[in-house]
Structure 1
């Protein structure tokens, strides 16, 4: 079975690069914007990238994100790339500045010292090992995936100018739930999707299906926008909970229209959740939901889609001594209903997700990987242990959420991709 790993980042609020309530205050955190894989644009005035860009740059974090190891490669006529610069850049706690040391392909060594004057502007002054100033480099971040570099001599004359575009790898098939960047999607969906694609995301999942479309666009229009950004529209959270679970006419009418819209959009699955579980008092009500989910799942399967149930914490409440989540797992048809485990909400619900993966193997098509803060920061959820159970659980898609965060959402989204890619999917 092809393993497709999907990432969702869920944040409470969002604004763009100039965040209203959240900023990047420390030099160390600002420097981390420079982490990742980058390629040069065709020229500094455009963010377009050639098939074989002139420059490739790798900038990887070290020592709890205190420093970056940088390697720059230049294209030869044969479209092969040779290293032209090695460098380590980090925040020095003694001098409270950004410090660099490196050398070029000719063996000339240098040091550099600088500072971020704002979240998006960084200046470094380079010196040779005799202490002589050689070059000043300005870094101007256009956004989290686009930075312009310009070098100046000691007389402030421009020597060169390069634009780097982030180009993180997609080989681990990580995706993102667009609730993470909801306000940016409302403001400028095209540019937001482009940034997400550059960060290394492969797929998107939505939660905004309404009036037959997404973010005010038709299924075909939205699909085209997603694909233009180098992404795939993989899944959609949808919400319809009829009072009468036996009203097949209403159920079929709503879901058949929804399914057809999503087929046009090209998704692989539809998911849903339940906000009414605290009001359930009888086993009969639980069974009515199971019957309903089976109906919807059967409709989806008939039309070539999958139907997925997503949990929160209320699923771990009990009705007549029976845990709701267990009842759903035991009384829905595995051929029609898949489960998407939200690891954070399972933790909040007081259960160990690994126990569920062992007890109900192959029932969990996807996970929501979410923490109390940025992914991996709280120390409360042992993601690395849980990730050992992907195969047992039956996971095809991994979705991670960040429900609370300390930084602007696009910055947190980038950090989450790094955590999943480098820490959990080794």
Structure 2
């Protein structure tokens, strides 16, 4: 699971705090500016009040030309907390008296000053005695703002801390904790994908997170449904594929069996062909040497088969061959195998037979064929040669001996059995 360097709730909280701090600074500065203007206006009014208070005394002292009293009044005015300078000038510009702070040039340029003229009334005549200027400066304003400024900053700090704490609690309750629960549920679902789980946690407030949960569950249901459809489709495809494979396998097995049969079976008589007979002869020879199991051979040839073909045609000749094959199959016991050696010659492998029993079987075959009627041709005869395999002989010698015995039967007039000792 990925680790978050900064959570969303913290980022939102920090962003809101930054905005709040900026607004607080702007509002505080505006408040300070307003307080500054208010303090400046108040000081200006107080300067007017001070002038109004001391104007009668100055009027009397100036009219009486009492410099000592003027100096005393000037010192009294200068002692006022707001004042940093008092300047009394004659109408002709001469300085009659002044009490100034050491920063006199700066005081002259300040806007915090109040200037008023002193007139003495005599017999309804106003006599201009002097011009009085009262000076104050920014320091007086700042002295008044000092306490207010401290309270403003303290108030802003307390509000910011309280708001941060409240925002933290709100974000933790309404955003951080629900998001944590939602993330935990998603992690649980991720670790158990095969169980098709949904988000089951309930959220106390019906808000965007609850909507996100429902939408996420809807997405999961859609994905699970699509996954199940894909699984069902895949299962159906696998089933069809297995059926197709089974069909192909069965067809291949049938084809192999057909090929095996074609490679070992004579196509006309459906008996073992010469290749199959050779393989069976080798097996019989191996069994003889390994288990001393005897076997004998009977070589069969249809008498006057060429005359049958010449007289009745090859189709009838083929019918004679298939009829003889059918007779051999139905007459011979299970351990005796008959096959077509070539043309009108047949070979019978008698497993477990010695020369005497093989000779007896050959006579039975000779009589059965002689008594078996065939369509169109009627009765036919066969000549047979019998030989038994001996330990001192080879398979080729045994085959040649059976062939010689067959030849001997032909010499004897056909339709007989010959066993060469």
Name the TM tier (shorter chain): under 0.3
Question: Normalising by structure 2, what TM-score?
Answer: 0.18
Between structure 1 and structure 2, the one with the greater Rg is: 2
* Structure number with higher strand proportion: 1
Ranked by relative contact order (alpha carbons within 8 Å, sequence separation 6 or more), the top structure is 1
Question: Normalising by structure 1, what TM-score?
Answer: 0.18
